[in-house]
């Protein structure tokens, strides 16, 4: 992991961007990264029902050091994931 100062606005090492169909892969990757000591923002675990998805994407884009996209046909065809990879 990188060394950050206390004043850093980075809260997560990674934002995982994925299509709903790829959730199992995203959760597996998040589990692997967290087991290695990284902090991961993943919609499936961090966005509670009724939350604002747009705010989640904005928060992730601002507060995550890196974005990983689970690239698949479903991801490329999804209009919901476009703001996440464009922000990255």
Q: Does 55 map to a domain?
A: yes
- As for how many domains the chain has, the answer is 1
Q: Does 84 map to a domain?
A: no
Cα of 18 vs its chain's centroid, Å: 8
| Residue 24 pLDDT | 97
Q: Does 58 map to a domain?
A: yes
Q: Does 7 map to a domain?
A: no
What is the per-residue DSSP string for 21-33? GGHHHHHHHHHHH
DSSP-assigned beta bridge partners for residue 9: none
Adjacency order of strands within the sheet including 64-69: 40-42, 12-17, 64-69
Q: Does 23 map to a domain?
A: no
pTM for the whole structure = 0.74
Confidence of residue 9 (pLDDT cuts 50, 70, 90): low
Host domain of residue 60: 40-69
Q: Does 57 map to a domain?
A: yes
Q: Does 86 map to a domain?
A: no
**What burial class does residue 86 get, using C-beta atoms within 10 Å of its C-beta: 0-12 exposed, 13-18 middle, 19+ buried?**
exposed
Q: Does 48 map to a domain?
A: yes
């Amino acid at each position: 992991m990188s060394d950050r100062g206390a004043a850093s606005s980075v809260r997560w090492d990674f934002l995982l961007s994925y299509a709903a169909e790829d959730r199992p892969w995203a959760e597996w990757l998040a589990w692997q990264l967290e087991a290695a000591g990284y902090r991961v923002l993943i919609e499936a675990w961090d966005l509670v029902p009724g939350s604002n998805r747009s705010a989640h994407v904005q928060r992730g884009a601002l507060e995550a050091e890196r974005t990983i996209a689970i690239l698949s046909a479903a991801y490329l065809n999804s209009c919901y994931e476009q703001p996440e990879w464009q922000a990255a």
